[in-house]
Amino acid sequence: MKKTLLSGLALLAITLTAADYVSEGDLWWSHIQYLADDSLQGREVGTNGYRKAAEYVAGKMEKFGLQAAGTDGYYQPVKFEARQLIADESSLALIRDGNSQALERADATMNSRVDEGTVDAPMIFVGYGLRIPEAKYDELAGIDLKGKIAVYVNAPGPVDAPGPLKSHAGSGTERWNTLRAAGAIGVATIMNPRAPVGANPQAAPDGQPADASARGGRGAAGGPGGGRGPQRAFLLADPTLQEQVGQKIALTITRTGGEKFFAGSGHTYQEILDLARENKPLPKFPLAGTLHAKIAIKRENVEAPNVAGLLAGSDSKLKNEYVIMSAHLDHIGVGRPVNGDTINNGAMDDASGIASILEIARIMKADAVKPRRSILFLAVAAEEKGELGSRYFGMHPTVDAKNIVADINLDMFMPLFDLKFVEVQGLGESSLGDTIREAAKEFGVTVQADKEPEQNRFIRSDQYSFIRNGVPSLAFKFGYEFGTPEDKIFHDWIRDRYHKPSDDLNQPVDKAAAAKFDRMIASLLLKVANAPERPAWRSDSFFKRFAR
């Protein structure tokens, strides 16, 4: 037994070093050429382009010998509800001393995830709106929020706590749960003035630098798609899986409208922005008058599948445990024109990740790899709508939930230059950190911890849907050293191509480096699948609390 295992490992190592990265890079790119072609129209969930992408992935999974692991063949259909504000029948006004001051669309953006109806409520400014008992931080103490709209700056605030706790507590869902428990009926957010320049406030961040408020209200904003008028918000159709429930109104206050909201309160919008820009504590105070809102919503049912294929394990016992290899199949579709182009092709985001999971499946078949645990390859829907496809899978897994031992997620891993460094999100959180170090070493790749922890990328893509269920996870970016050309290439890409039509097939990509990355991730998967023990959270990990 021991001898067999050793020779198996030796064989694997030989295969890994013998890989022809140039031709494997071309195979990897061929999937992206299909998925990011203009004919797929940016793969927005519910569109024909997304359906074609799902069919392509299911077809390749079959070709690469994976067993169907959805609920309908390779598919796990997911039902969504898309909501859109009917702009002509919706309105906002500030009511003060019996006078009504109408607010324009430029003053505040109404999120369409709420129900239709009329809201009349006082507003209260609650700083960053955070109550985090673990950090002994409470901005809501002594404040009566009952029946009121909580107005807050959507930023992490001067909280002294580990990054993961801050980002978890600052997520739109957690912040709302806290405010709702304190009696609030809605929220009006002020965008984080510390957000990096060039961030698209309407973009769904994919773990990328963007305004924290966009993330917080991401489900609410429903992604870009600015070319179609008011934005659509997507919710899982199953009400028991919906988040941010009980919110009667959700607004984003703009810079144009800021001073109107604060007039008569004894404070100015500018004063609040200045303090928040310095990350200073904020005062708490009621705003003058009440907010009147009329909300009309158009609803639409949308269905789009997750796609799942299984490489069954070889060990009679461990085959009942599952390592998930995930990436998201959807992108943001057609939007407003940039240089005459309206199609957001999503080549790196995240056709690249889907291409990699397909390549890894192909490699495992070609190399006749027999992992002891099963590996579930999963292409999820609606990441761009708030990680909804992975959340649905997390709540309705097609394999036994308690036997999912890890999630390895690929979302925009950014093969824009040679793979010398790999930046790992979640590196210090679980035993998977040691495993990726071993895999990287085989390839002469240096592991780096998350270089921009304030971006909280570890909980900003589909791995979070697994983390919240207690499953140890990792996510990755090609790493670089500060001040190098690679640093510039990475950040220029974020500025110029992230969630834009230029994330397309006409961009420089290091295909051979992507192929090397795929081999490294394949090695990681096999190590996790073959280890005697399943991965475990570190005793000091914040995320350990979710373990079941």
**How many angstroms from the chain centroid is the CA of residue 107?**
28
Q: Could you tell me the smallest distance in angstroms from the CB atom of residue 229 to Zn ion? A: 24
Which residue stretch of 195-203, 315-323, 342-350, 518-526 sits at the interface with Zn ion (rule: CB under 5 A)?
342-350
In the shown chain, the binding pattern of residues 52 to 71 toward Zn ion, with x for contact by CB under 5 A and - for none, equals: --------------------
Residue 169 or 324 having the CB closest to Zn ion: 324
Ranges of H-type helices in 182-255? 212-216, 218-221
Residue 411 as a binder of Zn ion (CB under 5 A): the answer is yes
Q: Which of 44, 330, 350, 462 binds Zn ion (CB under 5 A)?
A: 350
How many residues sit close enough to Zn ion to count as binding (CB under 5 A)?
A: 4
- Cβ distance 417 to 489 under 8 Å? yes
Q: Could you tell me the smallest distance in angstroms from the CB atom of residue 461 to Zn ion? A: 6
Alpha-carbon distance values, 514 to 263, 353, 357, 497 (Å): 54, 10, 12, 19
The two three-digit tokens of residue 163, written as one number: 């990054």
How many other C-beta atoms can be found within 10 angstroms of the C-beta atom of residue 272?
Answer: 22
- Which phi and psi angles does 112 have, rounded to 5°? -95, 10
- Cβ distance 113 to 341 under 8 Å? no
- Cβ distance 95 to 260 under 8 Å? no
Residue 457 or 511 having the CB closest to Zn ion: 457
Cα 124 to Cα 108: distance, rounded to the nearest angstrom? 16
Q: Could you tell me the smallest distance in angstroms from the CB atom of residue 341 to Zn ion? A: 19
Q: Could you tell me the smallest distance in angstroms from the CB atom of residue 208 to Zn ion? A: 8
- Cβ distance 521 to 352 under 8 Å? no
Residue 169 or 475 having the CB closest to Zn ion: 475
Residue 421 or 498 having the CB closest to Zn ion: 498
Strand order in the sheet with 91-96: 99-103, 91-96, 285-295, 117-125, 149-154, 186-191, 249-253, 108-110
Residue 349 as a binder of Zn ion (CB under 5 A): the answer is yes
Residue 107 or 349 having the CB closest to Zn ion: 349
Q: Interaction with Zn ion in 254-273: which residues (CB under 5 A)?
A: none
CB proximity list for 333: less than 8 A, separation 6 or greater: 41, 42, 43, 44, 47, 49, 223, 225, 344
Cα 221 to Cα 85: distance, rounded to the nearest angstrom? 11
Which residue stretch of 129-137, 350-358, 390-398, 422-430 sits at the interface with Zn ion (rule: CB under 5 A)?
350-358
- Cβ distance 193 to 211 under 8 Å? no
Residue 81 or 411 having the CB closest to Zn ion: 411
Q: What is the DSSP letter of 347?
A: I
Which residue stretch of 186-194, 268-276, 347-355, 513-521 sits at the interface with Zn ion (rule: CB under 5 A)?
347-355
The two three-digit tokens of residue 340, written as one number: 């005459």
Residue 411 or 423 having the CB closest to Zn ion: 411
Q: What is the enclosing helix (H) or strand (E) of 102?
A: strand 99-103
Q: Which residue of this chain has its Cβ atom nearest to Zn ion in the complex?
A: 206
- In sequence order, the β-bridge partners of residue 291 are 94, 121
Q: Could you tell me the smallest distance in angstroms from the CB atom of residue 390 to Zn ion? A: 11
Cα 499 to Cα 344: distance, rounded to the nearest angstrom? 7
Residue 462 as a binder of Zn ion (CB under 5 A): the answer is no
The two three-digit tokens of residue 276, written as one number: 């928040």
Residue 130 or 382 having the CB closest to Zn ion: 382
Q: Could you tell me the smallest distance in angstroms from the CB atom of residue 414 to Zn ion? A: 11
Which residue stretch of 69-77, 289-297, 348-356, 393-401 sits at the interface with Zn ion (rule: CB under 5 A)?
348-356
Which residue stretch of 22-30, 188-196, 403-411, 450-458 sits at the interface with Zn ion (rule: CB under 5 A)?
403-411
Residue 330 as a binder of Zn ion (CB under 5 A): the answer is no
Residue 249 or 380 having the CB closest to Zn ion: 380
In the shown chain, the binding pattern of residues 204 to 243 toward Zn ion, with x for contact by CB under 5 A and - for none, equals: --x-------------------------------------
Pairing between strand 117-125 and 149-154?
Answer: parallel
Pairing between strand 99-103 and 232-236?
Answer: unpaired
Q: Interaction with Zn ion in 180-209: which residues (CB under 5 A)?
A: 206
Which residue stretch of 43-51, 345-353, 490-498, 512-520 sits at the interface with Zn ion (rule: CB under 5 A)?
345-353
Interacting residues toward Zn ion by CB under 5 A: 206, 349-350, 411
